[in-house]
Amino acid sequence: MSNNSSTFFAGRHYFVLVILVALFISLLIRSAWLQVYNQEFLLDEGSQRQLRTIQTPAYRGSILDRFDTPLAISTPVDSVWVNPKQILLNQDGLKKVAESLGVNYNKTLNKLKQRANKEFVFIKRRLEPELAQKAVEGIDGVYLQREYNRFYPAGEVVSHVLGFTDIDNVGREGLELVYQDWLKEKTGKRQILRNRKGEVVENISQVVAARSGKDLQTSIDMRLQYITYRSLSKAIKHHGAKSGSAVLLDARTGEILAIANQPSYNPNQHKNKSAAARRNRAVTDVFEPGSTIKPFTLAAALDRNLYNLKSHINTAPGYMKVTGYPIRDFRNYGVLDLAGILRKSSNVGASKVALSMKPEQLWQSYKDYGFGEPTGISFPASSPGYFSDYNDWQPLDHATMAFGYGVSVSTLQLARSYSVFANGGKIQPVSLLKLDEPQQATQVMKSSTAKKVLEMMEQVVGPDGSAKQAAITGYRVAGKTGTARKSTAGGYLEDTYTSVFAGVVPVSNPRLVMAVMIDEPTKNGYYGGQVAAPVFKDVLTHALRLMNISPDNLKASLQMAKSKGQVL
C-alpha cells in the first residue's frame, strides 16, 4: 500500500472520530440545556408517560321492594374531565366539547385557567355514555370517567320513603340517608400506565379492590304502594284538599306495606321541589285524631272492668258541660250502649267514659297503646306525636282527650295503634324493612277487650254507622271515623278540618290495618266517613284480592253473587 493510501485512510479515521465526538458533545449540550433550561417540559412529558393510580368505580346498593322489584338502582354514566395544562393548548377542541355538552365556553375556560395547576377538572358529570363518548371523540386532552347515577323507577309514587342522593351519591333524605353506610359503595384504586394522550396502555396492578354497596330490601309491596298512592291522589283532588297521607300495615308483623303522601315529588328531579313536597307527612306530621281515638277510650274502661258490653250511658240532651265549657254531640242520641257510642260517634258518651277513670289511668292506657311514643321506625324527623302529662291536665282536657282533642299523632302512629286491636291486644314496632319473623310484641290490652272493641267497630262500618263507605263486600270490616277541627294559636277554626279513618280487615282473622288522613278538604264533604273512608275501601279491596285473603262474610258474598247472576 502506498503512502498516499495510508494517509487517506488515516484522514478518514480522524474525520469519523471528529464526527462522533461532535455528536457526543451536542448530546451533552442538549441534555444540559433540557435539564437546566427546559425542566418544565421534561416534567410534563414524563408525567404523561408514567405509572398512575386511578379510581375504580363501584355502584351503590339497590333498594328493593319485598318482592325484589327495584325501587332505587345505580345506572352507569360517564363524566367528562380534562387536564387543564393539555386542554388549554387545544382551545378549539375545548370549544367543540363545550358546544356538544351545552356548557358555557367562556366560563369553562376561565375555570380551567384558575385551576391550571391541577391535573383533573370535571367539565360535566353524569352523562349518558353514548352522548359523552360522542362529545369527546377525537379531541386530545378530554377524557371520560365512569360513574353511577341513582335512578328511581317508580318516581313520585314511593319518593317519600326512598329519599334521594346528591351528585356524589351520598344519601340526603329517606332510606337513602338512614342506610347510607349500608348502601354506600367503596371506590377501588388501580395502577395503570398511560401515554401522553391519556390513554391507558397497560393495567399494572389492583391497589384497592372496589366494593359495591349492599342491597336493601324494604317491606313495601309496590303493587299496594301504587294503589294507595293513586287512591290518595284521587281523593285529594276530588275533595280539594291541602294534603294527605295513608299507611297500610301487615297486622301480623308490623311491616309497612304501603305509605303514601300528597303532595309528592319525583326524586329523579328533586332539585326544584320544596321541602314541604319532600316531607314524609305520614311519619313527620301530626294532627289531632278526633273520634278515631274513641275505641281506645272504651278499651281502657273495659280493661279496668268499669263497663261491659251491656252498660248504658245517658247522653241526653246531646251535650254536657265540663267546668263551664260545652261538649256536644251531632244530635241528642239519648241512652247508648258502648257500641252505640262508637256507632253514633258520641262525644258526650266518650267523655263520660273517660271521666269515670282517673287521669293517670287514661293517660297510662293511651301511652300503652302507642300515643306519644316512638313507632320503632328509623326515619329522619319521625315524630312521636304529642301527648301531655296527666299532671298538666285540667278537667276539660281529661274529657276532650276521649274524643281526640289535646293529643296529636302521625298517620303511622294511628295505624300502629289500631294494630293493637288486630293483634289481640299486643303492640309491636313497625318496620320499613322486610322481616324474616315478627318483632317482639308487648301485651298492652286484654285480648278479650281487643276482640270486643273490634266487634263494636264493625258496627261503625255497618248500615247504621258513620263509615258505610268503608264497607267491603264479602269481608267483615272494623274501623272508626274522625273529623277534627284544626287548631291555631287563637283556638279552633270553624270550617277547617282533618278527615280521618282507621280500620282493620278481616275482623275474623285480622291481616291488614290502614289509617288515612286528609287535611283540609274543601269540597264534596269533610267528614271522615265521606273523605277518608272511601280511600280505605278502594285500597283494601285490591289488597285483599292481591294477597289472596279469603272472605269472612260469606253471606254478603252470596248475596252479591246472586245480584250479579253468578253461581258460587
Q: Where are the CATH 3.90.1310.10 domain residues in the chain?
A: 52-75+150-217
Share the mean pLDDT of the chain: 88
Contact predicate 165/171, CB 8 Å? yes
For 296-313, how does the pLDDT look when each residue is reduced to its tens digit (9 = 90+)? 999 999 999 999 999 999
* Other CB atoms within 10 Å distance of the CB of residue 352: 19
* Other CB atoms within 10 Å distance of the CB of residue 183: 26
For 439-493, how does the pLDDT look when each residue is reduced to its tens digit (9 = 90+)? 899 999 999 999 999 999 999 999 999 999 999 999 999 999 999 999 877 778 8
For 191-240, how does the pLDDT look when each residue is reduced to its tens digit (9 = 90+)? 666 555 555 555 666 666 778 899 999 999 999 999 999 999 999 999 99
Q: Which numeric CATH code is attached to 222-563?
A: 3.40.710.10
52-75+150-217: CATH topology is Penicillin-binding protein 2a (Domain 2) (3.90.1310)
Question: Cα-flanking dihedrals φ and ψ of residue 437, to 5°?
Answer: -150, 155
Contact predicate 70/64, CB 8 Å? yes
Instruction: Enter the DSSP assignment of 527.
Output: S
Contact predicate 517/499, CB 8 Å? yes
DSSP of 90-149, one letter per residue?
Answer: -HHHHHHHHHHHT--HHHHHHHHHHTTT-S-EEEEEEE-HHHHHHHHTT-TTEEEEEEEE
For 63-109, how does the pLDDT look when each residue is reduced to its tens digit (9 = 90+)? 999 999 999 999 888 888 888 888 888 888 888 888 888 889 888 88
Q: What is the spatial distance between Cα 368 and Cα 370, in angstroms, rounded to a whole number?
A: 5
Strand 216-217, strand 63-64: pairing = parallel
Q: Which of 233, 291, 410, 419 is catalytic?
A: 291
Q: Where are the CATH 3.40.710.10 domain residues in the chain?
A: 222-563
Q: What is the spatial distance between Cα 513 and Cα 567, in angstroms, rounded to a whole number?
A: 31
Residues in the chain: 568
Q: In whole angstroms, what separates CA 112 from the centre of its chain?
A: 39
Residue with cell 388549554: 88
Would residue 291 show up in a list of annotated catalytic residues for this protein?
A: yes
Q: What beta strand segments (E) does 349-489 contain?
A: 386-387, 407-408, 426-427, 442-443, 478-488
For 123-154, how does the pLDDT look when each residue is reduced to its tens digit (9 = 90+)? 888 888 888 888 888 787 788 888 888 999 99
State the pTM of this model.
Answer: 0.83
